[in-house]
Amino acid sequence: MVVWTEQERAFIQEIFGKLNYEEAGPKALSRVLIVYPWTQRYFGNFGNLYNAEAIINNPMVAAHGKVVLRGLERAMKNMDDIKNTYKELSVLHSEKLRVDPDNFKLLADCLTIVIAASMRNSFTPEKQAAWQKFLAVVVSALCRQYY
Amino acid sequence: MLSKTEKELIVQIWEKLLPVAEDIGSEALLRMFITFPKTKTYFNHLDIGPGSQHLRCHGKKIIEALAEGARNISTLTTTLAHLSRFHAYQLRIHPTNFKLFNHCILVTLACKMGDHFTPAAHAAIDKFLSAFSAVLAEKFR
């Protein structure tokens, strides 16, 4: 069972409070598709992903980025039981979408960098640690239903 | 594989980082120690508290080595030969730690550069750091 300190909970609430959901999700998803191009394999029906500009301006990437962030918000609202909150999402990613779970970490890292670029120096090392612990729990929950 | 544009971008970015090498290097190290506490096990011989002189000095050394690598991207293996031997035979760092530190360098750059840390810059630097780490780990076995 994951144990959260009061400070970690506060940091994670703060980070979500400062997030512009309309921007952060799309930015993170487009960043992972650009920086780690093999992740594009899961988005064959998204149309033009030919170069960075196309990816950044792709409306399907933007829409899906928002979906991902809303999914993350569910984890934030259920921090003490992310494992069960994500059971169906895990089955979806393993059985239907068939995503190699190593790629979850890449998206998590890109989201961290988008947040760092937005929060600048207020994204202190301590906040980074709490945030990355949260994302590690999320990724682990997503990986659970892979057999 | 780094394109010509990416190599130029990398040289530009590292030249800008050299004057603030202590700040960037020490922050990246501190982020790594706090986010991934197991990495502290390699630094029993140093005082790595926030703001410590050891941290600033060590951070500066790392950024300067990276800048040297950036200036000699096509000859990384020869440029980094001594560092490669040092990491293999003396430091013997578990290779997964290079990725953790590289990630913290990227987070530090994002904090400092904000929107200027574009996806293109991120991709170029990430590729460079991966290539650099691969050379440092080359002689491990």
Q: Do B122 and A35 touch (CB under 8 A)?
A: yes
pLDDT at A26: 98
Residue A29 has pLDDT above 90, yes or no: yes
Q: Do B31 and A119 touch (CB under 8 A)?
A: no
Share of chain A above pLDDT 90, in %: 90
Q: What residues in B contact A123, CB-CB < 8 Å?
A: 107, 111
Q: Which helix (H) or strand (E) holds A13?
A: helix A6-18
The verdict on A121 touching B (C-beta cutoff 8 Å) is: yes
Closest Cα of chain B to A127: distance in Å?
9
- Of A107 and A145, which is predicted with more confidence? A107
In this prediction, residues A88-93 reach a mean pLDDT of 94
Sign of the alpha-carbon dihedral angle for B3, B97, B108, A2: positive
Cα separations in angstroms, A62 against A22, A81, B23, B63, B65: 8, 28, 35, 35, 38
In this prediction, residues A97-126 reach a mean pLDDT of 96
Band (A21; pLDDT cuts 50, 70, 90): confident
pLDDT at A79: 96
| A:B CB pairs within 8 Å | 54
pLDDT at A28: 98
Nearest Cβ partner for B115 among A34, A35, A117: A117
Residue B24 Cα to chain centre, angstroms: 10
Nearest Cβ partner for B107 among A30, A52, A116: A116
Tokens of B56: 């600033």
Residue A14 has pLDDT above 90, yes or no: yes
In this prediction, residues A9-21 reach a mean pLDDT of 96
- Answer yes or no: are the C-beta atoms of A56 and A30 closer than 8 Å: yes
Q: Do A125 and B31 touch (CB under 8 A)?
A: yes
Residue reference for tokens 């780990």 = B137
Sequence-distant (≥ 6) Cβ neighbours of residue B98 within 8 angstroms: B133, B136, B137
pLDDT at A109: 98
pLDDT at A36: 94
Lowest-pLDDT choice from A7-16, A99-108, A110-119:
A99-108
Q: Do A116 and B110 touch (CB under 8 A)?
A: yes
Q: How far apart are CA A125 and CA A131, in angstroms?
A: 10
The DSSP output letter for B92 is -
Q: Is B22 left (phi over 0), alpha (psi -120 to 50) or beta?
A: alpha
- Answer yes or no: are the C-beta atoms of B37 and B2 closer than 8 Å: no
Superfamily of domain B4-137, CATH level 4? Globins (1.10.490.10)
Q: Which residues in chain B come in under a pLDDT of 50?
A: none
Q: Do A121 and B111 touch (CB under 8 A)?
A: yes
Q: Do B111 and A56 touch (CB under 8 A)?
A: no
Residue A146 has pLDDT above 90, yes or no: no
pLDDT at B141: 86
Domain ranges of chain A: 6-146
Q: What residues in B contact A116, CB-CB < 8 Å?
A: 107, 110-111
- Answer yes or no: are the C-beta atoms of A90 and A141 closer than 8 Å: yes
Mean pLDDT of chain A: 95
Q: A35: nearest CA in chain B?
A: B123
pLDDT at B139: 87
In this prediction, residues A125-137 reach a mean pLDDT of 98
The verdict on B123 touching A (C-beta cutoff 8 Å) is: yes
- Answer yes or no: are the C-beta atoms of B121 and B112 closer than 8 Å: no
Determine the CATH number of domain A6-146.
1.10.490.10
pLDDT digits (tens, 9 = 90+) for A38-83: 999 999 999 999 999 999 999 999 999 999 999 999 999 999 999 9
Query: Which of B49, B101, B111 lies closest to A127, judged by CA?
Result: B111
